[in-house]
């Protein structure tokens, strides 16, 4: 009998320890599919603006690590794949020191990675609020090409941004509304925000969140990595997030 009670106690303690360990560090992974309408404007070497529009699908993937350590921020890393391209007719300008005339193709690649450090200000079933700071590292380019010669300027500088995320849920229904905002500090005309609705399905091991909403990324810069441009990706998105 004593051995049975001891075995039961040990199993109970191990179960409690395992459950506690699962909540010490949490992981979130997710992905979004984004159908974005894109407007582009870039300057040639003379400062003259050239415009083109494009509608295409874009995407993001991310991972976040959360922990209970005080004063140590949580970490989120999000990779954004953004690209827009089109043809321009009857042009006559110089870009990156090369003269272009006639018909050209332009590709505006604004791939970037968000490195976010944040604190959980509120975290309950009804309301959660995260505040912090982010660094958006650009890894893109503007490329102009004709039949004979392509020219490309890399966009590889970074932007310091403020970060905020809020979620309001309906207890017992799994339905929630959310907003996620990045605002440029050193580049005040750069922002990246999304708003929408989601549904959370809970299980013992993994919680699954399905999200739909609207996202707007505005990149309006002057002499940023040697390029001046005003590009905006905006439109509906759908995504999924897994929480461990």
Question: Which CATH number do you get for residue 194?
Answer: 2.40.128
pLDDT the model gives residue 23: 56
228 part of a folded domain: yes
Q: Is residue 30 part of a domain?
A: yes
Residue 12 included in any domain: no
Range of the domain at 229: 24-243
Q: What is the mean pLDDT of the chain?
A: 91
**Does residue 31 form part of some domain?**
yes
Instruction: Give the span between the Cα atoms of 195 and 197, in whole angstroms.
Output: 7
Is-contact 104 88, C-beta < 8 A?
Answer: yes
pLDDT of residue 116: 98
Range list of β-strands (E), the chain: 26-43, 49-66, 74-81, 83-95, 98-109, 112-123, 127-138, 140-145, 150-155, 158-169, 175-184, 190-201, 207-224, 227-243
Residue 4 lies in a domain: no
Question: Is residue 127 a part of any domain in this protein?
Answer: yes
pLDDT at 16 over 50: no
**pTM for this predicted structure:** 0.88
Structurally, how many domains does the chain consist of?
1
Residue 111 in domain: yes
Q: What is the pLDDT of residue 24?
A: 78
Q: What is the CA radius of gyration of the chain?
A: 23
- Residue 11 inside a domain? The answer is no
| DSSP state letter for 137 | E
174-206 pLDDT, tens digit per residue, is: 999 999 999 999 999 999 999 999 999 988 889
Tell whether the model's pLDDT for residue 13 goes beyond 50.
Answer: no
pLDDT at 171: 81
Under 8 Å CB-to-CB from 13, ≥6 apart: which residues? none
């Amino acid at each position: 009998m004593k051995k049975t009670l001891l075995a039961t106690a040990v199993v109970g303690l191990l179960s409690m320890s395992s459950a506690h360990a699962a909540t010490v560090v949490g992981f979130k992974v997710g992905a979004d599919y984004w159908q974005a309408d894109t407007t582009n404007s870039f300057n040639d070497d003379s400062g003259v603006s050239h415009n083109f529009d494009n509608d295409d699908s874009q995407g993001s993937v991310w991972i976040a690590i959360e922990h209970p350590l005080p004063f140590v921020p949580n970490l989120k890393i999000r990779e954004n794949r953004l690209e827009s391209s089109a043809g321009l007719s009857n042009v006559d300008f110089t870009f990156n020191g090369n003269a272009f005339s006639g018909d050209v193709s332009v590709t505006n690649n604004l791939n970037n990675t968000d490195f976010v450090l944040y604190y959980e200000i509120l975290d309950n079933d009804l309301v959660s609020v995260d505040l912090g700071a982010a660094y958006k590292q650009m890894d893109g380019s503007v490329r102009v090409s004709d039949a004979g010669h392509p020219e490309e300027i890399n966009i590889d500088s970074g932007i310091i941004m403020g970060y905020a995320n809020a979620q309001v849920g309906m207890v017992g229904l799994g339905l929630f509304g959310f907003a996620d905002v990045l605002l440029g500090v050193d580049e005040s005309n750069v922002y990246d925000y999304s708003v929408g609705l989601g549904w959370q399905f809970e299980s013992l091991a993994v919680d699954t969140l399905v999200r739909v909403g609207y996202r707007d990324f505005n990149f309006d810069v002057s002499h940023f990595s040697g390029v001046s441009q005003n590009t905006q990706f905006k439109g509906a998105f759908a995504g999924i997030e897994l929480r461990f």
